[in-house]
Structure formats: C-alpha cells, structure tokens
Structure 1
Amino acid sequence: MSIVQNGIDYLKGSPFEENLKGKKVGLITNVTGLTKEFDSSVSVLDELCDLTILFAPEHGIRGEAQAGEDVASYFDPYFSKKVISLYGDKRAPSLEDIKELDVLVYDIQDIGSRYYTYIYTMYLSMKVAKEADIQFIVLDRVDVLGGNHVFGHLMPEAYFSFVGMLPIPNVYGMTVGELAYFCNEELAVQADLVVVPIKGWKRGMTFEETGLPWVMPSPNIPTPETAWLYTGTCLIEGTNLSEGRGTTKPFEIIGAPFINGTKLAENLNELSLSGIKFRPVFFTPTFSKHQGEACEGVQCHVFDKEKSEPLDAVYKLLRMIQEMYPDQLEVKIPFETSPHLFFTHLAGHPYEVSMDDEELVIEFKEKRSKYLLYK
C-alpha cells in the first residue's frame, strides 16, 4: 500500500477542492494523470468542477506518440472531451483556447531531467495563464529520481530550446510543484499559482519506496531505473549512436554497427566507474537509429544508484568511443532550424567544450532552496 499521496490523491477532500468547485477548468495531463488507485485525473476533476477541455503534451494524452512526433488535436471518445495538442503547431494553450476558463490545471508525472519536455509545457502554460488572468494549479508529484540529486551544467540562454528552456542543471532536484514556484519567482512569471502538495514524501525516497504505481511517462522510459540512466544517456540522442530505442532497454543500451561491444565493455569497466558496470550486448533496433541493422555496444547496469553518476559515465563513454572509433563517432546531428547541434541543446554546451560552471550550479542550489516544499 502506498504511503505517499501525490497531489491528485490529496486533492480529494482537501481545502484545495474549493479552488475548483463551480469553476470552468482546463487540464494539462497525459497517461500518468492517475490516482494511486488508477482513477484518471480527468474523472476526479469531472466530479469536482466543470472540466471543459484537455491539453496534451509531447507523446499525447495516451502516451502513444514517439519522441518528436507531432501530436494531433482531436475529440477523445473515452473522456468525451476535446483534446488540444501542445506538441504540434504550438507549445502552449492560446488565449483563445482558454478564454472561457477560470482555472488551468497541470497534472503530469515528470522524471526530473532537464531534457524532458513536460516542464516546458508547464512553464509556457503558466505564462499564458498569467496573461489570461486565470489561476494555474499544479497537482504535485514525486521526483522519481529522489529530491536530493542536483548535478550537471546550467543551460545557457543562447542554447534554449524545447529540450532545455530553463536556466537549470541537467538534474535539478525538484518536484514539478517546486519548479513551478521557482519559475514563478526567479523567472518573473508571476502567475496566480497554487500547488496541491504531495503528502508523506521525503526527498531521500527512491521511487520504489513511495509505494506508488509506476506508469511509463513516455514510450521509452519503461522503468524508474531507465529514468535514472536517462539523466546521462539522453545525450546519446545527439550522436549517431543508438540509445537503445527500438529495443526493450531504451537508454540502457548504447551501440552502433561499427562498435565491438566486448572490447568497449572491457575498456569502460577498466575505468571502475562508481555504481555502474557495462555488459557487452548485440542488438538490432526495430525503429529509430540503425533500424534493422546488427549493432554491438554495451548495456549500462546500475548496481549502486547512490554512488552512480550516469552523466559523468556517459561523458566517459563518449570519450572512449571517440578514442576507439575517431572516424565513425558523429556528434554533428542538426536540431530543427537551430544553428547549434542537437548535442549542444541537450548538454548545454558544444561537445568539444569542457564546462566548468560549478559556481553557477552552487548558485542555482541556493536559489532552489527557497522553493523546496518537502524535507
């Protein structure tokens, strides 16, 4: 039985119900918008208010769309509601979309990495809610990485994109509610913001310790361990290596047709990286990079999460592959219409540049501390 209540669970019977009763409400949500008993947030809000419209982030309301795929607006026959896409022609509701609303609600389980686009859907929607002069409510959810991990490099404004639109490190150690408060004050959004808190959660908890059900927040994050490795292995998206899409272990398996997996695993394990071991793998992706091609590479195995550093491990993995295959590793993958490469937008710096922004990360931690809701 779960000892933790996410915001949607705590909402029922709480004083926060008064923020919704009798109001016209729009809900930004997806497949993770569930109570711990698997009731949808849509059905919960339907009982409390006039829930008139739904908004879908990347991957869609049902979580079926692959990364980067446009999501269409449509009428959902199961919820009997119009769903407006926020991952197609636009990235936030328009003023026209919300002109009849009193409240805009956000309920999506995030995974705590800066690259994950849901937080930018929230941020941009907060700005629109401010412009429309309506309340913005975040139904808070646990940080699946645990709330104490903060590492990586800050994203410079010059490289802002929809995979990194906030001045935060790769892993920022905040729930979406805490991050909403951060954006509201530090980035001067100044929306009429309400956060319905989590109950029973402590920052040091692993996701497994919460007792909450794991619902895949996107098609290629099948487990909490994947979410942890993703903090580093997402950078592989900016290279010509497969990050394991099209296998049953996305973001755990890394490889390419030109790699000798046995030799790569041997070389990486000689580095004795804390908490992580590498196993040679042979695989053929069913879609995405190297679809239908026989690949070799490594699977990253975490045997001590608290000691492991996935981001550092991936930088070392890339340097090792560059050393072994200097003419075959490519990081010059373009990104939409940007003059900068995809790797740069993910990492917050060009591949060739070593970042030394520890002081900026310390400064971020100091700012962050003002908005933490949980101990």
Structure 2
Amino acid sequence: MRRRTLIAAAGVAVLHPRPASAHVAVRTGLEIAASDNWDVLRDGPLGVVANLTAVDREYRHLVDLLHAAGLPIGGIFGPEHGFRGSQRVGGSSGVDARTGLRVYDAHRATHDQWVAMFTEAGVRTVVFDIQDVGARFYTYIWTLHDSMAAAATLKLRYVVLDRPNPIGGRAFGPMLKPGFTSGVGLKEIVQQHGMTVGELARYYNSEFLPAPVRLEVVPCEGWHGGLFAADTGVPWVMPSPNMPTPDTAAVYPGTCLFEGVTSISEGRGTTRPFELCGSPDLDHRWRDRVAEHELPGVALREAYFVPVTGKFADRLCGGVELHVTDRAAFDPIRTAVAMLVEARKLPGFAWRDDNPGRPPFADLLFGSDRPRTMIDAGASVESIVGSWQDELADFDRWRQPYLGYPRSLA
C-alpha cells in the first residue's frame, strides 16, 4: 500500500527557494549552504556521500570546502566510479590524498554495510551531493535511497544539497514493476522521473523507507522544471565516464535501452555515447525507417562510427546519431522505442540475456517485460507507448506533494 503522508509528518524540513528568474543563474544547494556559512551542516561529524560532481561555480569540491572550513568529516562515501571519479566501474576504499580523510567504497553496498560504514565513521549527519541525470537506471539515485535508509536506521540527520535535473521536470516512460528490481532500479518510479535528487529524497522518505529519516533539503535557487542544463549556468562535470555532456543526458533515458540489446551498440567507446547507435550490419535504411515515425523534437542523422571499446570495438558501425532540436517536445523513450521497433524487424537483432534466473537486461531497464514482449510481437510504437500512459499519469499524481519547484515552462 502506498503511503500518502504530509511532508511534515515524514520529518522533512523544506527550505523554499526564491522564484525562478531569467536574469539570475541557478544556484545549487551547495552554493546556498556555503553562503549560509554551512550552518545546516554544523551537527557533525559528517558523512559525505558525493562524487566528482559536487562542485561550486568555481569547480571547488564540497569536501575540500568543508575541510577548509574546519567542519568535522567522519568519512566520505563514494558511489559508482568513485568519490573523485578515479574508478572506471566500482568505487574504492582508502584515504583521500588531498584531505587525508577516510574514503569508503559505497558502490553496491547493502543496508547492513551502509550501517556499518556510518557507524565506523562516527557519522551524525549525512550530506548528499551528486549530480543525477534524470533516469531510473542511473545508479546514483539508488545510492541516495540506500544511504537514506541506513541513516534512518541509525537515526541520523540527512541533508541533500540539491542540484537541477539536467533534462527538465517532465516525467516519461513506464513504471518499474515488482519482480524487476535490480541495481538499475530498486523502487517503483518511472523511467524518466523528472525530479531533482532533493525531490526524490522527499518521495523516498514518505513512499519507500520503512521509517522516515530526519531529512532536510537545501534547494536550488532559480530552477524550475522547464529549465535544462544549458539554461542554468551550473557547471557540467561528467558524472560518469560515458556521460560527457548534457546532450548525452538528454537522450540517455531512451537510448540506454540499447544496453539491453547485444546486436546494436549504444555508442560506448565513441565521443558521443548514447547519441550514436548502430552495428556493423546496419546502414541508412535503419535511420530512414525510424525517421518515418516523425518523432517530435529530434533529428536523425545517418551515421558511421568505430567504437574503440565495448560492443563492436574497432569495427565500422552504421546507424543513427540523434540531435535533439526541441528539448521541450522531445520524448527520449518514445524515440528509443521507435528505434527498437524498426531494429527488431531487421536480421540479426538480439536481446541481451546473460544472467540465468533473472529477467533479460532490457526488462530491468524498462522495469517490466511488457515493452520487450510487445516489440517482439510486432506492436506499433503508439501502442507500446500507450501501454504505460495510465501508470505514468499515476506517478505524475503521486509525486506532486514532493515537488519543490514549479513545472511551468515559463
């Protein structure tokens, strides 16, 4: 049963931002907290859950700023790719060379491991600052969930320094269903959630945690759901090795689905991951068939590329490059479904299914087996996208009490 509780009843303190202004650059929660002399973080020792994206407008890192200000830090907790971004896949434990502080590898940590790490570090307040990209299968939002749950168990304070959602405030796509949970989706949210990490924290606190944590969100100032990364003036730091630009983030909630297909590269190993998709067996005909769907907000270019790593490394691939032309009209998941529908009609198409006893990876990304089975059955793009509209509307309604920013495009 879903818990519809007031935010105040969930133990959440909400600091309200000023209205957005076209003449004022967006300020992140980090910058707001720094301008208040870190008063919200004075109840230490601190446990800092962060990665390389936790920087201010001058690219100074949160941990370095807190350390210089003399705030006690019990430990740093690094997610996937590590705290300073020095790990290609997982995190690593050790000592931060710059500050001498203890770093814990929190990637894929269980609840008990989180509790043990926080306890060993002597944490009283947890602070989270990581740039999300707006997709359910981007693992940092589940680092947020799991660290909140551990903090609730230990009755710690939990402070989120909020950042803009770089792909805006609209939600798209299907809902995660029971039986399809994994490291790329732990709880029932839609594929492109359209929320900031601060808003997600409020949602988790009331909807998913067995007991609420003492949550405080330091919001952004000047952001609303009609703003995208390029509109904000917030520095872009690659949050993971294959997320080089905001253009990547814009298409990622859709074209990441090609990670669930063995016969088509999602562009890893190129300078345009997720914007390029293709294989040695594809050419202009795939692009032309997808273009017949007249997808809104995107132009499709016939493209050829040679990945240096990943699928089809060192082999010439033909396929599609996506160019988002209207961010407000673009639906990355509809676009990817159209690409999958047309690719499925071509010889050699194959879903990834390399984990015996678990659903195919595409099902974990979609959140259920329904889209994949509909694609296999030859369903139209309209019927596939239409199949999740009711649950998307439900999610949009459920999230309303936890939204801290306007969703207007104006």
Aligned to 1:169: 190
**Distance in 1 (alpha carbons) for counterparts of 2:289 and 2:301:** 11
Match for 1:70: what amino acid? G
* Partner SS, residue 104 of structure 2: strand
Match for 2:187: what amino acid? L
Q: Where do 4+ consecutive residues of structure 1 move more than 6 Å?
A: none
1:254 Cα shift?
0.4
Q: 1:291 aligns with which of 313, 320, 329?
A: 313
Q: Check the 8 A contact 1:20/1:48 in 2, yes or no.
A: no
Instruction: Note if 1:268 corresponds to 2:287.
Output: no
Aligned to 2:94: 74
Which one is further off, 17-26 or 344-353? 17-26
Instruction: Note if 1:194 corresponds to 2:216.
Output: yes
1:246 Cα shift?
0.4
RMSD: 1.9
Which one is further off, 205-214 or 105-114? 205-214
Instruction: Note if 1:349 corresponds to 2:372.
Output: no
Name structure 2 gaps, 5 residues minimum.
1-22, 375-383
**Distance in 1 (alpha carbons) for counterparts of 2:229 and 2:81:** 22
Q: Check the 8 A contact 2:158/2:216 in 1, yes or no.
A: yes
Which one is further off, 115-124 or 74-83? 74-83
1:21 Cα shift?
1.9
* Partner SS, residue 94 of structure 1: helix
Aligned to 1:246: 269
**Distance in 2 (alpha carbons) for counterparts of 1:358 and 1:122:** 27
Equivalent residue runs for 1:311-350 within 5 Å: 311-325=333-347, 328-335=348-355, 338-350=357-369
Instruction: Note if 1:11 corresponds to 2:33.
Output: yes
1:256 Cα shift?
1.0
Equivalent residue runs for 1:1-375 within 5 Å: 3-14=25-36, 17-21=38-42, 23-46=44-67, 47=69, 49-66=71-88, 69-87=89-107, 90=110, 93-99=113-119, 100-147=122-169, 149-188=170-209, 189-240=211-262, 241-259=264-282, 261-325=283-347, 328-335=348-355, 338-350=357-369, 351-353=372-374, 354=384, 356-375=387-406
* Partner SS, residue 173 of structure 2: coil
CA separation of 1:7 and 1:152: change in aligned 2, threshold 3 A: same
1:332 Cα shift?
3.4
Match for 2:273: what amino acid? P
Alpha-carbon displacement from aligned partner over 1:131-163 (angstroms, at most 9, x marks no partner): 11111111111111112x111011012101110
Name structure 1 gaps, 5 residues minimum.
none
Aligned to 2:20: none
| TM-score between the two structures when normalised by the length of structure 2 | 0.85
Q: Check the 8 A contact 1:111/1:143 in 2, yes or no.
A: yes
Match for 2:130: what amino acid? I
**Distance in 2 (alpha carbons) for counterparts of 1:103 and 1:214:** 27
Identity over aligned pairs, percent: 33
Q: Check the 8 A contact 2:108/2:183 in 1, yes or no.
A: no
**Distance in 1 (alpha carbons) for counterparts of 2:388 and 2:299:** 28
**Distance in 1 (alpha carbons) for counterparts of 2:199 and 2:104:** 26
Match for 2:198: what amino acid? G
Q: Check the 8 A contact 1:130/1:192 in 2, yes or no.
A: yes
Task: Count how many residue pairs are aligned between Structure 1 and Structure 2.
Answer: 367
* Partner SS, residue 172 of structure 2: coil
Match for 1:178: what amino acid? E
Match for 1:75: what amino acid? V
Match for 2:338: what amino acid? K
Q: Check the 8 A contact 1:182/1:371 in 2, yes or no.
A: yes
**Distance in 2 (alpha carbons) for counterparts of 1:272 and 1:94:** 47
**Distance in 1 (alpha carbons) for counterparts of 2:201 and 2:360:** 28
Which one is further off, 17-26 or 194-203? 17-26
Q: Which has the higher contact order (CA 8 A, sep 6+)?
A: 2
| TM-score between the two structures when normalised by the length of structure 1 | 0.93
* Partner SS, residue 159 of structure 1: coil
**Distance in 1 (alpha carbons) for counterparts of 2:276 and 2:270:** 8
